[in-house]
Each structure stands twice: as structure tokens, then as C-alpha cells.
Amino acid sequence: MYESRGGYRAVRKALKMTPDEVVAEVKKANLRGRGGAGFPAGVKWGFLPKDRTTTLLCVNADESEPPTFSNRVLMEDDPHQLLEGTIITGYATQAQVAYIYMRVEFHEQFHILQKAIDEAYAAGYLGKKIFGSDYSLECYLHRGAGAYVCGEETGLIESLEGRRGWPRIKPPFPAVEGAFRRPTVVNNVETLSCVPHIIERGADWFAGIGPPHSTGPKLFCISGPVSKPGCYEAAMEITVGELIERDDMGGGMLPGRKVKAVFPGGVSMGALTADELDMKMDFVDPGNYGLLGLGTAAAMVVDQDTDMRMVLRNVARFFGTESCGQCTHCREGTAWMYRIATRMEEGAGRIEDLDILLETARNMGMMPGLSICGLPDGATFPIETIVKKFRSELEEAIRAQAPGRVEAVLSAVN
């Protein structure tokens, strides 16, 4: 089925090019990572040491950012596209082995992808002398144990090696010393799924879609009280409002529902208000709205009847649970933010709690060298944006609390 629609044509073309030519084409296309960081893929490949004798490729299929499911859709509906992108990337970086690291909750997707790998081996598209060339690539599907922090590339590598999944101190970076202490490239599922189209159609075609800083088609997820939650593809010129309202996408809000807030890039990027839906879903514009970035481009919509104290508590709980605990400020900070948010939702908040949350957030993230990974930033941006942008609602809820409730709860804790 995949080949009947032109599948594996791109890898045949790539194998007639030199590895450096493939890397140059991807650089020219300005393919930026679709996993959250947005780092240029071709540039990342260029960090590999020139004198290396072994190269490994890790495909990040962990997809643990709430509420993201674009990688799951790709693995379910087009697994051979991912494998073709993996083969081309492996050839471009001269990798001998590719590991596809999949989160353990993907039960059905595991079997779908494993079947596709078996089919590729049977056809001679994986293994020795692919398509009769001198290039060989072995591919293994590895299941993680279910941890948000394994979406970070060095946390993924630690888990792949059989250890507890938590990030490594850098440097050395994976390109120099990654999996099994070998030079390693780590790329996201959607990123690699773009590679065959760049090689087959050309870098100019890919770069001609969307703005210059955010080229190529992109998958956008949308969930919440919208008419048509799902995964949609568009250029990165679309706004959050269009993603929600367009008939061929979200289809508008459900009857009687209105937008109160949107987390446009997954939870960790932060929140928008209903007045900020003109934000473009690209790699630049989110910064103009106080967000950490585009992230996974997975929009979660919150309606007007949702208590933002509950949202605050749910977000704080998630990151408090998923912190690996290596860094003191992340381990302690996420736990304290969860405790404060829980007390607020239970009707025992104080106005000063809002300032404490902001102070804690400022002391956790965006300080180079302070953290081993970026989880503290992902944990603090949603907290900070909720408190800043919905402060009046939070203060109103605090003032409406039952008299003596705060004192009773605090005395019980103490």
C-alpha cells in the first residue's frame, strides 16, 4: 500500500546521493525539530564527529507531552513513512543501528510499527545492503517504562541502555557521546517523517511552505470542548483561533461553550487567554505571548465553565510527579507548587500564594546551567502564565472562600 503511493522512492533517490548531499538538502529545507525544541535537524546531524567509526540513531517516539498525539497518529496510519525517514536519516548520518524508542502505553502502535519493520526487513529495505547499495541499517523497536522525562534525549538514552530514565549532565552531548557511549543522533517521529518528502520533492518545495523561520507542513493536535478534536496538517501560518474555528479543523466550540484559555503547544509551553487567539502556530510568535515556544503544537482548549484553580492544580500535579528528582530546585519546587495549588483548589488559598508561585517559578527555570534538563522550564511556564493571565479570577475565588478555611487547613497541616 505504501509503495503504491510512491513510498520508498525517496530513499532510493537518497542512496544515489552522498550522505553530505542529503544533509545539505535537509539544511537547505530548514527542517526544524517537531518534538518541541525546534532545533534544525540538518545542523544537529552536522555535530557528529568527523572521525567517528560508529554512529547510532535514536527515534524519539516517547510522546509524553499532554495533550499530544501527532506521533501516535503517524505510527498508526503511516508507519512506513517513519521507517523511510529513518533509513534516509541513518544514511545521511552513516548510522549502523536505529532504535525506535516508544512509550510503553502505545500498545497497538507497537504492534503496527513492529509489523512494518518486519515487512521492511522481508523486502530488503532494512538490514544488509539496502536497495542493493553498500549501506546497511539494523532497526530495533524499544519500549520505555513510561516517564515524561524520557522525552528528553539523554533521559531517553539512559532508559534505552537499561538504566533509570533521567537526563544526563551535558556536555558531552549525544552527538559526541550518546547511546552506549557512541555518537548518537536523536530525532522525533514527525521530524523524520518529513525527511522523505524533502528528498523526493526538494528543499525548495519544503521551504516554500510557511514562513522562512518555520518551514514545511506541520501536524497540529486539538482537544477539549471543540466540535472536531483531532490531528490536522497545515502550514505554520495558522493561528490558534483558526485551528479552533475552521470547519476543516476544530470546527468551533461545542454548543454553549466559549474559550477561556488555550494551551497551544502542549501544557508545558504555557497558556493563552481568549483574547490571544491570533497567535500564529510557528516557532517565533509564541514568544510574543509570553510562552516558552511552539512545543508540540498540541492545543488544549479550556472552556468558560472550568475553574482555573483546577487547571493549575492538575498542571502542578503532573510536573511534580514527573520530575526525576536530580535537581533540587525542580524536585522541591514542583512539589511545593503542587501543594499550594491543591490548597487553593480546596478553598484555602491566600493572595500571597499567587506571588509565592511566581517567585518559585522564577527561581526554577530559564537559568543556564541551573538544570540538567529543561523540565523546570516546562513546569513553570504553565504555572506562571496561568497566575499572570488569570490572576483576577484566582483572586476572586480566594476572596469568596469560607471564613476561617485557610486557618483551619494550615493548622491541620502544621
**Is 142 contained in some domain?**
yes
Rounded to 5°, angle at Cα 110 from 265 and 165? 65
Q: What is the pLDDT of residue 178?
A: 96
pLDDT tens-digit readout, 125-137: 999 999 999 999 9
Last residue of a domain, one of 154, 188, 207: 207
Indicate the Cα dihedral angle 74, 80, 82, 88, nearest 10°: -160
Same domain? 360 vs 396: yes
Last residue of a domain, one of 188, 207, 226: 207
pTM of the model: 0.93
pLDDT tens-digit readout, 199-241: 999 999 999 999 999 999 999 999 999 999 999 999 999 999 9
Same domain? 342 vs 291: no
Same domain? 121 vs 239: no
Same domain? 298 vs 315: no
Cα distance between residue 154 and residue 224, in whole Å = 32
Q: Determine what percent of the chain is predicted with pLDDT higher than 70.
A: 96
**Is 402 contained in some domain?**
yes
Which residues does 67 contact at the CB level (< 8 Å), separation at least 6? 221, 223, 263, 266, 267, 298, 300
Residue 280: name the closest of 323, 332, 235, 237 by CA: 237
**Is 212 contained in some domain?**
no
Cα distance between residue 204 and residue 291, in whole Å = 30
Same domain? 271 vs 324: no
Cα distance between residue 271 and residue 259, in whole Å = 12
Same domain? 63 vs 152: yes
Same domain? 338 vs 399: yes
Same domain? 229 vs 186: no
Domain range for 314 is: 308-413
**Which amino acid does the sequence have at 125?**
Y
The helix/strand/coil state of 49 is coil
Same domain? 182 vs 232: no
Q: What is the pLDDT of residue 37?
A: 83
Res 298 pLDDT > 60: yes
The mean pLDDT of the chain is 94
Binned at pLDDT 50, 70 and 90, residue 350 comes out as very high
pLDDT tens-digit readout, 363-406: 886 655 578 999 999 999 999 999 999 999 999 999 998 777 67
Cα distance between residue 11 and residue 50, in whole Å = 23
Res 410 pLDDT > 80: no
Q: In this structure, what CATH number is given to the domain that contains residue 172?
A: 3.40.50.11540
Q: In this structure, what CATH number is given to the domain that contains residue 256?
A: 3.10.20.600
